[in-house]
């Protein structure tokens, strides 16, 4: 535990030393909430609550894919990373620290969305629903953290930037995070259950009291976790082998 906390502190300090990373992580979900949700659904309690949950899921995606996908790829290009792999602590404290750092970035990202929802919309949620929603966001972050780790360990920095951007927006739109989930376009309704973004969103919507996650969506959410986890492990082992072969 001490090693995990040490690695987490190091990675958090490394992140906050680049303030634009914090600003960018918090800006995009908050801006989408302010410019799209508030005018369109701000005075509708159900619509505003669901939209706020969607924007928080959007923030989870941002943190998982960008924090790991770009952060790991950047770390691999530094001479410090191979050295840390030779230390007797093993890989798990570093893996755990990356996950805790991404969760911390997620918390930073959802705060502006939560503030806008509270002060500028009619969104409603009980303290218990907020707590359940936070737990759902943590669970919903799993496939995106694993995908980010896979990209970060499998690709160099320039390629990782491109792949993360190619994955992020289609998943957000295809999962229905930027449309009305009650009346989505036909194409979105057809593809959304097969994307992890929809599974994460349905978990958060259910946590705040709206809708029940669909079985197909949850099955596919689990499939994404298993596949992304296997890919992340493969990419890490391949990178480890390439460095020390």
Average pLDDT on 102-130 reads 88
pLDDT of the residue at 181: 78
DSSP 193: G
- Residue 228 domain boundaries: 2-244
pLDDT at 243 over 70: no
Q: How far apart are CA 54 and CA 38, in angstroms?
A: 13
The 10s digit of each residue's pLDDT in 186-200 is 999 999 999 999 999
Instruction: Give the whole-number percent of the chain exceeding pLDDT 70.
Output: 91
Cα distances from 68 to residues 57, 73, 89, 92, in angstroms, run 17, 8, 21, 15
- The answer to whether the CB of 97 falls within 8 A of the CB of 14 is no
Quote the pTM value: 0.88
Average pLDDT on 17-44 reads 77
Which phi and psi angles does 115 have, rounded to 5°?
-65, -45
Which tokens in the block code for residue 145? 């953290």
pLDDT of the residue at 184: 83
Could you give the number of structural domains in the chain? 1
Average pLDDT on 51-62 reads 90
């Amino acid at each position: 535990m001490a090693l995990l906390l040490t690695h987490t502190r190091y990675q958090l300090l490394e992140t906050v030393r680049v303030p634009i990373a914090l600003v960018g992580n918090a800006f995009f979900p908050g801006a989408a909430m302010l410019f799209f949700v508030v005018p369109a659904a701000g005075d509708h309690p159900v619509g505003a609550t669901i939209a706020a949950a969607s924007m928080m899921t959007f923030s989870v995606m941002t943190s998982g894919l960008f924090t790991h996908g770009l952060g790991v790829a950047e770390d691999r290009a530094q001479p410090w990373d191979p050295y840390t792999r030779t230390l007797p602590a093993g890989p798990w404290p570093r893996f755990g620290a990356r996950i805790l750092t991404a969760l911390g970035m997620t918390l930073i990202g959802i705060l502006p969305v939560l503030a806008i929802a509270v002060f500028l919309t009619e969104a409603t949620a009980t303290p218990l629903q907020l707590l359940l929603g936070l737990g759902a966001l943590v669970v919903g972050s799993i496939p995106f953290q694993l995908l980010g780790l896979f990209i970060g360990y499998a690709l160099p920095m320039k390629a990782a930037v491109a792949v993360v951007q190619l994955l992020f927006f289609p998943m957000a739109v295809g999962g229905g995070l930027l449309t009305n989930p009650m009346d989505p376009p036909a194409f979105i309704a057809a593809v959304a259950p097969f994307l992890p973004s929809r599974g994460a969103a349905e978990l958060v919507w259910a946590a705040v009291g709206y809708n029940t996650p669909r079985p197909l969506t949850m099955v596919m959410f689990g499939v994404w976790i298993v596949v992304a986890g296997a890919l992340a492990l493969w990419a890490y082992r391949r990178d480890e082998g390439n460095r020390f072969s």
